[in-house]
Amino acid sequence: MNSYSFKKYQPAGLRLWHWLNALAILGLLGTAFLRKTFLSWRGNAALIEQKIQAAGGSITPELAKDIAVGIRTPMWDWHYVLGFTLGGLLVVRILVGIFSVKSCPAAHAVKATWNLSKVPAAEKANAVHYALVRTGYALFYLITAFMVVSGLVMYFKDSLGLDKAVINPIKEVHELSMWFFVVFVVGHLVGVVIAELRHDQGLVSDMIHGGKKE
């Protein structure tokens, strides 16, 4: 097997974790996208005011905002559920890494990058791809940990006694970090396609049925 191959047997537990994690992240990105676009309280509040006024009625901006926020509340409740789910999945993955796999994504990334200078020219492209993927995985776990912790801090801000001066910077970085997952999802899909075309055929099917045991 190629030394830069990602193909290996995927146990059922890891496959289940992978797909649950993917669903949680895609769901979180979806709710964040809706919050910023179709279910934005600012846009919907303005629309509510406009429609009521066009019908000959009147409504205060405050009430229009309350209605707009109320419309998106069920969707945002799902964001919280998915966030807690992602946190639970991250804890499970960390425990598996410590007690079962006994490996660290950051160590893999550093090793793969450090060895690039020693790779023969004929293998350089595969080695660079391998190092980039390992680095992406390491960043994924690091930023996921930040997103989970910062999300918990914002969710429990009242219980923690935190005011807006503390929460607002955390919220800004939390929202900005969302774009990492957009890039990661796209990069992950592109990376899988590249691997399938080069030397790792069957990665997707292996993550469904497990692949061949060594």
Q: What global pTM score does this model have?
A: 0.85
Reduced to 3 states, what is the DSSP secondary structure of residue 202? coil
The angle, 0 to 180 degrees and rounded to 10, between the axes of the packed helices 41-54 and 61-96 is 150
106 phi/psi in degrees, rounded to 5: -65, -40
**pLDDT of 105 above 80:** no
What pLDDT score does 68 carry?
A: 94
As a whole number of angstroms, the distance between CA 92 and CA 72 comes to 31
**pLDDT of 1 above 50:** no
Within 10 angstroms of residue 182's Cβ, the number of other Cβ atoms is 13
Label residue 112 exposed, middle or buried (CB < 10 Å: 0-12, 13-18, 19+). Answer: buried
Mean of pLDDT values over 184-206: 82
The closest alpha carbon to 170, from 187, 146, 191, 194, belongs to 146
What pLDDT score does 65 carry?
A: 94
**pLDDT of 143 above 70:** yes
H or E element in which residue 100 lies: none
